[in-house]
Amino acid sequence: MMLNKALECHTAYLLLGGNLGDREVNLKRAIELLNEKIGEVLAVSSLYETAAWGKTDQPAFLNQAVGLQTNLSAIEVLELALSIEQELGRVRKDKWGERLIDIDLILFGDEVINIPDKLQVPHPHMQNRKFVMEPLAEIAPDVIHPLLGETMLSISQHIEDPLEVKKL
């Protein structure tokens, strides 16, 4: 039984973003490292240039969604994603501030996980943020949000977020 659990395979969706340095190079390198350390990358969205959310007086972000298949647990994915951020030079300072690279776990199969201050999937704010939902709906239009019961495409079409998101 334990062995089956350990080998369970999940499709995880992550959102990558950054607004410092060579944003495109940082995203490309992050995807290579996700593929090496976490699991086979199956889908990568277009690049999206997006107005900064939260603290708006900072440079625009480049965001990109990634879908991958992994045998790891959600916590292991989260910890490796943090290690990739560090390897790429991220220093965590301001929660809403500028950053070289950010890797957020958005969905982990159809699992619902809530470990306060550590890990929440589905990402609790995904459905309110165009910079998350537009790239995600591009690569996973038919995936259903495990709590809202709505597809990624449908959620992305009904968001009221006014911040600009431009597909490059």
Residues within the interface to ligand GSY (CB under 6 A): 17, 50-54, 61, 63, 96, 102, 104, 131
Q: How many CB atoms lie within 10 A of CB 94?
A: 10
Cis amide prior to 162 (ω within 30 degrees): no
Q: Has 99 been annotated as catalytic?
A: yes
CA 164 to chain centre: 18
Check 22, 23, 102, 142 and give the catalytic one. 102
Comparing CB distances to ligand GSY, the nearer of 20 and 51 is 51
Comparing CB distances to ligand GSY, the nearer of 79 and 98 is 98
Comparing CB distances to ligand GSY, the nearer of 53 and 108 is 53
- Supply the minimum distance, in Å, between the C-beta of residue 25 and ligand GSY: 16
163 neighbors 49 (Cβ within 8 angstroms): no
Q: Has 57 been annotated as catalytic?
A: no
Check 29, 57, 92, 99 and give the catalytic one. 99
CA 145 – CA 52 distance, rounded (Å): 24
Give one DSSP letter per residue of 48-90, joined into a string.
EEEPPSSS-SSPPEEEEEEEEEESS-HHHHHHHHHHHHHHTT-
Q: Has 94 been annotated as catalytic?
A: no
- Supply the minimum distance, in Å, between the C-beta of residue 17 and ligand GSY: 3
- Supply the minimum distance, in Å, between the C-beta of residue 37 and ligand GSY: 20
DSSP-based three-state secondary structure for 145: coil
Give me the residue whose beta carbon is nearest to ligand GSY.
17
Q: Has 104 been annotated as catalytic?
A: yes
Q: Could you give the residue numbers annotated as active site?
A: 90, 99, 102, 104
